[in-house]
Structure 1
């Protein structure tokens, strides 16, 4: 199985988070982009300040690699207006796909009106600009029942307000990869949770992200219906190599 076209090769740590210099962070992003070009991956997922570098390298190499960035990441609790503003900036820079973090804390408190509002407004913006949108629901913060309800809420909001032809450009995504859990519980995509998302978000697309490091994991995710895989170990997955990263 060729996994290349399923992979969103990802680096989202700031210099401060990685405890390295800004220049070292830039070099990590450049290396990620160059690997994505070389191995014909689907997309590079970067912070918005690296979109311009990615565009230049991709154009220089006549590559078809797409560029993605994150919005309201990783907390997801900004206002709808802030999410829209940040998304407009990313679109202006040239992002092809935007991964928004759902305000999952508001969802857990029962504020479904707010969730519907941000899903509707942000999805409308992206689709009108011919951009794919992915909604990160942060499964490690949710119960199985909440995963089901939130997946269905996103699906139903999209189905009720947009044409069927646009469904392929709207994703439900598992995780940021930055959520802190206790007792060594997984903070990213698990097979159990991804099955729930696949069952309850279809016909929207599905993205698994967080903690995926091996070819076998990627293959299993694809076999259960996942359309895209976000990982900082994309090169290692393609080459079927071990990776030591915990991100």
Structure 2
């Protein structure tokens, strides 16, 4: 069923006002909030990521081998690498995650839905899609909702919606989070890491507040997270998943150079 902006605009306005007025929100306790070291529980929060356009087959294999070694939740890769990752991870307990509409989010809804369906056929168990950022900023909430909903229906699995918070006002972050939750997303996610900036505790908290009304919807923090302390900051703000290319270094307590995704 297609819903117009006349339907969504007042709902979004109401949700924005509600979230901004809530000054007493307490972040719910999760299994990750009390972590004190990069242990086995910590590893289950990590989407081990390699999304660079020049990633080679050998580098993708190395990513998978690290994920298997540390028992990370997933390996997150571009669509062309999904089949390879799925085969490499088979039987390990680590799952395959694919990005969709990445990194701009500006493809058509039909293209995103097909891309998601294709990734699932190749072995993806989770989908991270980029929201239509321009539509969200323009207040075209009907398009934002239908875009996310089409991917959720096509994938029939866990979908995380990347808001690309570096481009958004607080009101737009709330609107995007609300629409993603309404469309059936399992997570709202901060950033791609390809547009500058990165995840902040303030954004994670705001997104967590925005989806708190919807049981089961969680927050993933991604971009610029290169240390265990930064992960802890995200967990305490309400994140329950971390996207990082520095997972192995964090587990090994190795310092990662600035500029790494």
* Coarse TM-score class (shorter-chain normalised): 0.7 to 0.9
For the pair 1:83 / 2:112, whether they are aligned, the reply is yes
- Paired with 1:134 and 1:38, the residues of 2 have a C-alpha distance of 25
Query: What secondary structure is seen at the aligned counterpart in 1 of 2:103?
Result: coil
- How far apart are the structure 1 equivalents of 2:84 and 2:180? 32
CA distance in 2, matches of 1:104, 1:190: 19
Q: Which residue of 2 aligns with 1:58?
A: 89
**1:46-195 correspondence runs (5 A):** 46-59=77-90, 62-127=91-156, 131-158=157-184, 170-180=186-196, 187-195=197-205
Matched positions, count: 218
1:43 paired residue number: 74
Contact conserved, 1:155 with 1:201, CA < 8 A, in 2? yes
Q: Say whether the 8 Å CA contact 2:221–2:241 is kept in structure 1.
A: yes
Distance 1:156 1:83 in 2: 18
Report the equivalent of 1:31: 62
CA–CA distance in structure 1, aligned partners of residues 177 and 250 of structure 2:
27
Structure 1 regions of 5+ residues with no counterpart?
Answer: 16-23, 159-168, 181-186
Query: Aligned-residue CA RMSD in angstroms?
Result: 1.4
Partner of 2:28: none
Does the residue aligned with 1:13 lie in a helix, a strand or coil?
A: coil
2: CA distance, partners of 1:79 / 1:239: 41
TM superposition shift of 1:245: 4.8
- State the 1:237 CA deviation: 1.5
Deviation for aligned residue 1:132? 0.7
Deviation track 1:100-127 (CA, whole Å, cap 9, x = no partner) reads: 1000111101111101111222112223
Structure 2 CA distance, aligned partners of 1:156 and 1:92?
A: 25
TM-score normalised per structure 2: 0.80
Q: Which residue of structure 2 lines up, in the alignment, with residue 184 of structure 1?
A: none
Gapped regions of structure 2 (runs ≥ 5): 1-34
More helix by share: 1
Match of 1:208 in 2: 221
**Cα separation, 1, equivalents of 2:134 and 2:243:** 23
